[in-house]
Structure 1
Amino acid sequence: MSRITGAVKVGGVVGQPVAHSLSPFIHNLWLETAGLDGAYVAFAPKDAEGFDALLAAGRAGLIAGVNVTAPFKEQAFARADQVTEAAKQVSSANILAFREGQIHADSSDGVGVLYALAQQAPALTLRNAHVVMLGAGGASRAASGALLAAGARLSILNRTRERAQALADDLGSGVSVATDESVLESADLVINALSVPPHIDLLRLPASAVVMDMTYRPVVTPFLAAAKARGLTIVDGLAMLIGQAGAGFEAIFGQSPPDMDMRAALMAHLGETA
């Protein structure tokens, strides 16, 4: 029986395209499990003006909050009235909560990375760990801030050194630009923040290294499969997605997600095996 009444709280995910998003599945399952009077839908504004129209609806009290994905993260940050330090650090936002006509912005990308590492690589200590980040785009920037705050030191390995240097300069102390793959030989953690499969020599990594991929389709990417075959601990993007989603659910619906095995539900939904 539907729990939706006239007091329903509406949230959603906004992006273009957005039909592929797993967020509606995640949030609606949490809502159903918790028995909350809420609904979570997908919004696909055709352009920046459409996104602004959605924000106006939020300010007017029609929407409780949204998760934001490409290409609207920077616009979400720019339009917000209040932003967290995490959002300021990356100059973008993937969570917007609408409260009394105000837009509150946050970024949970870093939270998602820390959650995934805690779930799938619990033996890894981030304080003083050497992290090699593959890529220097927005995903790399979001993860880097949280890792630095946890006490890690960072090396950015990117095809274009100028872009890596620009990110390193923005992030400040504790970050350097790698000149070549020799940096892998002292890595405690390698994170793929590229949208394409990386081509690095995994044999250079210590046997104790952890390898993470921020993408999740498939859950075990070829990059992770190669690392696993080498006997390395792997961390997948699905765990990161769940960690990000939890922060969004709390911001939008005002409480923590219910205690349940969301990973098992997602794996079944995706038709994948553990």
Structure 2
Amino acid sequence: MLFRLGLIGYPIAHSLSPWIHERFMETTGMDGSYRIYEMNPERSFDTIMEQLQSLELHGFNVTVPYKEKIIPYLDEVDAGAAKIGAVNTVVNKNNKWIGYNTDGIGYVRALQSKFPALFHEAGCSALILGAGGAARGIFTALEEAGFKRIDLANRTKEHAMAICQHREHDSQVLSFATAENCLGDYDIVIQTTSVGMKPNVNRSIFTKADFSPIPIYSDIIYQPIKTKFLQLAEQSGAQVHYGHTMLLYQAQYAFEIWTGHKPDIGQMVEELEQMLKGR
């Protein structure tokens, strides 16, 4: 079978997704192509959807600004994606478009690969910084992975409260000022905002925090690979977790949804790291 796969969003000209999925096809022995379909948001979204349907794709990824906008155009939405409120992966199954969200599961897979012991301990706790779409997906995936305590910190508390309301966990919503003084209370602190992303590489969501060496510090930003936030954590002696691994594992889960094959990440973590360092 020749798989026709792709990515829609804007702007996405420099996306690494084609490289990732072409490598997955190589390692699994699958035949196909993965192409970028840059859809300018100035166009009518109805027109964009008509164009997509004419391409007869077997599956495609969805990135900004369409992760939420595409939902009404789908025939079905996976329960996890519905809970998150965003779709980043669509599969064409029996001529029906079914939407999924692989971000949270991809993040957890990446974390399990680096820190498997974290998932063997009872009562693990996490603090998520930020309350955007990525935070929502990671919250859901950690909840399903068995984390007993998941708190959120955000500049606008209402956005964080919208994530944790009606959930099984009795989560606390903190201000950044409060969170900055209690990082050591958690097994892992996960930075999901855009603070510290290129070109503002000298910025960190916290600068005067007590980066206790006890927990793991994680940042989902992958440009730069080692953000200022992770540099400060590493200087305290803490373990750190890089964002580019999430990029690979969420793509792995998407590929699995499309093809039924779970590709081995193998050396791709190191290869992707070298590619990102060269950008």
TM (normalized to structure 1)? 0.88
| 1:199 and 2:205 matched | yes
Corresponding position of 1:161: 157
| 1:92 and 2:92 matched | no
Contact 1:58–1:64 (8 Å) recurs in 2: no
The letter of the residue matching 2:237 is G
Q: Offset of 1:259 from its aligned partner?
A: 5.8
| 1:132 and 2:131 matched | no
Corresponding position of 2:200: none
Q: How does 1:1-274 map to 2 (within 5 A)?
A: 8-47=2-41, 51-53=45-47, 55-56=49-50, 59=53, 62-125=56-119, 127-152=122-147, 153-171=149-167, 173-179=169-175, 180-181=178-179, 182-197=181-196, 198-200=204-206, 204-258=210-264, 260-271=266-277
Q: Point out the more displaced range, 39-48 or 211-220.
A: 39-48
Q: RMSD of aligned C-alpha atoms?
A: 2.3
Identity over aligned residues, as a percent?
31
The letter of the residue matching 1:189 is I
Contact 2:90–2:100 (8 Å) recurs in 1: yes
Q: Point out the more displaced range, 39-48 or 133-142.
A: 39-48
Deviations 1:74-111 (A, max 9, x none): 12223221221210111111100012220111111111
Q: Structure 1 stretches (4+) deviating beyond 6 angstroms? A: none
Q: 1:84 to 1:100 in 2, by over 3 A?
A: same
CA distance in 2, matches of 1:271, 1:183: 33
TM (normalized to structure 2)? 0.86
Specify every segment of 5 or more residues in structure 1 that has no aligned partner in the other structure, as ranges. 1-6
Q: Point out the more displaced range, 216-225 or 31-40.
A: 31-40
The letter of the residue matching 1:138 is G
Contact 1:16–1:71 (8 Å) recurs in 2: yes
Deviations 1:181-220 (A, max 9, x none): 2332311110001011343267534422000001101111
Number of corresponding residues: 266
Q: 1:65 to 1:144 in 2, by over 3 A?
A: same
Deviations 1:224-272 (A, max 9, x none): 1221121111111111111100011122233222564211221232246
